[in-house]
């Protein structure tokens, strides 16, 4: 049994952990940094997936669709931020209601344009390779690799670029940032666009291993919030750990119980995690280390 679990099943654990991290990374920007309870995050993933589908239908080129998906989601994201959400940063309940409304609108538009019927996006790189006598699908491996590269890129970008420095300053204190010469409005729009584009990329990457329908984005919404909250809102390193723990645990549990039971257990773990995390933060502060929840 244990031998049978390795390596192909353990690879699935890695894949699901990567999926959790991938779908939550976009939310790190919009919710973790900008503090918008972004219920439209799932629909930004949906836009990425359906952009890929549409380009596949039009040109037959899936990879082109995947390249355009972040652009489409980013444009929609920045339009929402500039058009609606920028007026609501100090009104969290109103922004929650606005993002809920926007999510319903986008879902209905997608359903109207593409129909509620299931759709298939083909994998741009099909097939698998043998590892220790087990088949490892190429596309799933690529999801893991893209997620890893994305994370390293995002962390480096926020830590080393001028945009990253100005973004962290804006998130920490928008008023002070503005008076020190940072265009805080443009910075927030940039962060929202970036988070939306990453959500679009996630949708494009996950479309080939799923069946598309207008509810596609909702599948990832709750888990994205779980990962960001348990990881420590605003902490990318915490997000990675939470994504690996939750995604990996869910995948592992699915081998020994039904998916529904596994998801229930994951939610229980999440609730315990939310309860315990502040205690861990206190412990770390007591030890004189950096508190949880730093910007990167």
Confirm or reject binding of residue 185 to other proteins (CB under 8 A).
yes
Q: Based on C-alpha coordinates, what's the Rg of the chain? A: 19
C-alpha separations of 220 from 20, 38, 138, 206 in Å: 8, 13, 22, 10
Confirm or reject binding of residue 88 to other proteins (CB under 8 A).
no
Confirm or reject binding of residue 59 to other proteins (CB under 8 A).
no
| Six-digit token string for 284 | 């770390």
User: Which 3 state secondary structure label does DSSP give 136?
Assistant: strand
Which residue do the tokens 């359906």 mark? 50
Confirm or reject binding of residue 8 to other proteins (CB under 8 A).
no
Give 18 or 236: the residue with its C-beta nearer to other proteins. 236
Confirm or reject binding of residue 161 to other proteins (CB under 8 A).
no
Confirm or reject binding of residue 179 to other proteins (CB under 8 A).
yes
Confirm or reject binding of residue 169 to other proteins (CB under 8 A).
yes
Confirm or reject binding of residue 156 to other proteins (CB under 8 A).
no
Helices (H), the chain: 2-5, 8-27, 41-59, 62-83, 92-114, 138-160, 162-172, 174-179, 184-206, 218-231, 236-253, 259-286
| Spatial distance between the Cα atoms of 12 and 10, rounded to a whole number of angstroms | 5
| Spatial distance between the Cα atoms of 237 and 243, rounded to a whole number of angstroms | 10
For other proteins, the binding residue among 177, 194, 207, 262 (CB under 8 A) is 177
Confirm or reject binding of residue 95 to other proteins (CB under 8 A).
no
Confirm or reject binding of residue 286 to other proteins (CB under 8 A).
no
Q: Which stretch binds other proteins (CB under 8 A): 19-27, 62-70, 175-183, 204-212?
A: 175-183
DSSP H or E run through 6 = none
User: Which 3 state secondary structure label does DSSP give 121?
Assistant: coil
For other proteins, the binding residue among 58, 108, 115, 183 (CB under 8 A) is 183
For other proteins, the binding residue among 28, 140, 166, 188 (CB under 8 A) is 166
Question: Count of CB atoms within 10 A of residue 258's CB?
Answer: 10
Minimum Å gap between C-beta 172 and other proteins is: 4
Give 161 or 259: the residue with its C-beta nearer to other proteins. 161
Give 133 or 181: the residue with its C-beta nearer to other proteins. 181
| Spatial distance between the Cα atoms of 210 and 22, rounded to a whole number of angstroms | 15
End-to-end Cα spacing for the chain? 40
Minimum Å gap between C-beta 169 and other proteins is: 5
Give 133 or 288: the residue with its C-beta nearer to other proteins. 288
Q: Which residues bind other proteins (CB under 8 A)?
A: 162, 165-166, 168-169, 172-173, 175-185, 294-295
């Amino acid at each position: 049994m244990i031998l049978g679990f390795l390596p192909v099943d353990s690879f699935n654990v890695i894949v699901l952990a990567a999926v959790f991290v991938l779908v939550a990374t976009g939310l790190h920007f919009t919710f973790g940094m900008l503090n918008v309870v972004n219920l439209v995050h799932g629909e930004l993933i949906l836009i990425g997936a359906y952009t890929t589908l549409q380009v596949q239908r039009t040109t037959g080129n899936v990879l082109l669709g995947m390249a355009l998906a972040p652009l489409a989601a980013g444009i929609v994201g920045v339009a929402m931020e500039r058009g609606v959400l920028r007026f609501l940063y100090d009104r969290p309940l109103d922004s929650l209601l606005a993002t809920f409304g926007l999510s319903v609108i986008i879902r209905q538009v997608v359903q109207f344009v593409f129909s509620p019927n299931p759709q298939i996006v083909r994998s741009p790189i099909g097939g698998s390779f043998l590892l220790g006598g087990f088949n490892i699908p190429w596309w799933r491996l690529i999801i893991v690799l893209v997620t890893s590269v994305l994370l390293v890129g995002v962390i480096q970008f926020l830590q080393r670029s001028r945009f990253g420095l100005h973004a962290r300053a804006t998130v920490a204190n928008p008023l002070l940032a503005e008076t020190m010469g940072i265009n805080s409005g443009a910075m927030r729009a940039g962060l929202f666009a970036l988070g939306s584009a990453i959500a679009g990329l996630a949708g494009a990457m996950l479309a080939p291993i799923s069946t598309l329908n207008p509810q596609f984005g909702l599948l990832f919404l709750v888990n994205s919030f779980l990962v960001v909250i348990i990881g420590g809102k605003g902490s990318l390193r915490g997000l990675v750990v939470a994504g690996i723990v939750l995604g990996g645990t869910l995948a592992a549990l699915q081998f020994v119980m039904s998916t529904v039971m596994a998801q229930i257990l994951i939610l229980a773990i999440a609730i315990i995690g939310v309860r315990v995390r502040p205690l861990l933060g206190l412990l770390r502060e007591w030890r004189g280390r950096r508190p949880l929840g730093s910007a990167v």
